[in-house]
Amino acid sequence: MKKNLVVGAGFSGAVIARLIAERLDESVLVIDKKDHIAGNSYDYRDSNGIMIHKHGSHIFHTNSEKVWQFIRRFGDFNTYMHEVVGIIDGIEAQIPFNFNTLYQVFPESLARRLEEKLLKAFKYNTKVPILEFQKQADSDLKFLAEYVYEKIFLNYTTKQWGVSPKEVDGAVTARVPVYLSKDNRYFQDKYQGIPIEGYAKLVENILSHKNIEVRLNTEYSGMEGFDRVFYTGSIDEFFDYKFGVLPYRSVYFKFEEYDREFYQSHACVNYPNNYDFTRIHEYKHYLNERSDKTVIAKEYSESFELGKNERYYPISDKANVELYHKYLDEVKKMNKEVYFLGRLGDYKYYNMDSAIERAITLFEEVL
């Protein structure tokens, strides 16, 4: 029987560990240098009885039947569907920009004219990336494209990534489209929700197996005694940064407590043009919790600095992807079974469902 080491107790590590333990009946040691499981999806219930997402809002959503059937084994989800609003010219309006946003920020006559032109130019219920949307010849649509770009996209993206939107990878800009619809949901996936007992409990349940041992506050120190290693940490760290540090954006959260039932109308309110933070999270909305107090978190973006803060979002431009592949080539030279996965291991932006699917696929391919 082979011995397995999984580095990282987030979704990627927990899922691959469970599959090995359950389907191969092999022992798995899961280690994490943090003092908790669940990685950046970690949550906890505070003294007010509110479930707090420590690292920003996490909303589970997927179209994958395989992922949904797997994750539902370990916890029940509510039917929460995420809506986001942003403060645009002092008006609370729907994000992404859709037909409802038109009527929230423009006079009705102008909104109606723009709506008619949009329906002639695009199919209803489609999403158009903002940089693509700017390529309009019609003067009214050109005006609208510039309005959306300047009021919603430009400053928010600059705050989040520290560079102009045109310097950001297309896969990222495509995540903030103009949505030709009246659907106010931020995600349109078939399955959506928040785990009723929280993400930490969900991951705890995944890791709860007789063949799995979990050790926290534990650094990776090598493969001694293990036949396979599944590494969900940063690939450059694994190789002691021999080619340099892979760049990331980081974020930090300023938590505030208020003596009122709610602070804002939605769980997440974006501030594209005002203040230094990008958005405010209010956690009570997710599980419809009741309390005389509420807790919010203001989210600030910053560059990742080794030893100072945490990696959150890979900056996947051409040079950084090439650097990542230099590290990946080092893996091929190794005479050992080492597999990289997760947002840091793959240097790729993953939603939670994508991280789970990647772990399932890796298990099926190599084991």
Same domain, 89 and 173: yes
Residue-wise DSSP of 195-262 = BTT-HHHHHHHHH-STTEEEE-S------TT-SEEEE-S-HHHHTTTTT-PPPEEEEEEEEEEESSS-
d(CA 11, CA 267): 23
CA distances in angstroms from 21 to 35, 39, 168, 205, 292, listed in the order given: 23, 20, 40, 13, 44
Q: What does the pLDDT look like over 121-158, one tens digit per residue?
A: 999 999 998 888 888 899 999 999 999 999 999 999 99
Peptide bond into 96 cis (omega under 30): yes
Residue 158 lies in a domain: yes
CATH number (domain holding residue 323):
3.40.50.720
Same-domain pairing of 26 and 9: yes
Residue-wise pLDDT tens digits, 238-283: 999 999 999 999 999 999 999 999 999 999 999 999 999 999 999 9
Same domain, 26 and 120: no
Residue 284 lies in a domain: no
| pLDDT tens digits along 106-124 | 999 999 999 999 999 999 9
Do residues 117 and 62 share a domain? Answer: no
Residues 112, 173, single domain; the answer is: yes
Kindly state whether residue 250 falls inside one of the protein's structural domains.
no
| Predicted local distance difference test score (pLDDT) of residue 175 | 58
Residues 36 and 171 both lie in one domain: no
Does residue 190 form part of some domain?
Answer: no
Side-chain-facing half-sphere of 318: CA atoms under 13 Å: 1
Residue linked to tokens 């919010």: 296
pLDDT at residue number 134: 86
The residue-averaged pLDDT of 70-76 equals: 98
Q: Do residue 72 and residue 99 come from a single domain? A: no
Tell me whether residue 249 is in a domain.
no
Is residue 173 located within the same domain as residue 99?
Answer: yes
Same domain (yes/no): 230, 118: no
**And the tokens for 250?**
């980081």
Rounded to two decimals, the pTM is 0.95
Q: What residue numbers bound the domain in which 68 lies? A: 3-80+195-244+315-366
* 268 in a structural domain: no
pLDDT at 166: 72
Tell whether 349 and 226 lie within a shared domain.
yes
Instruction: Express each pLDDT in 287-309 by its tens digit.
Output: 999 999 999 999 999 999 999 99
Same domain, 96 and 58: no
Pairing status of strand 228-231 against strand 3-7? parallel
Classify residue 166: in a domain, yes or no: yes
Residue 357 is inside which H or E element, if any? helix 352-366
Q: Assess whether pLDDT exceeds 80 at residue 168.
A: no
Per-residue confidence band for 62, with pLDDT thresholds at 50, 70 and 90? very high
39 inside domain: yes
User: Residue 47 is which amino acid?
Assistant: S
Average the pLDDT over 199-215 and give the result. 98
Per the structure, the count of domains in the chain is: 2
Together in a domain, 162 and 227 = no
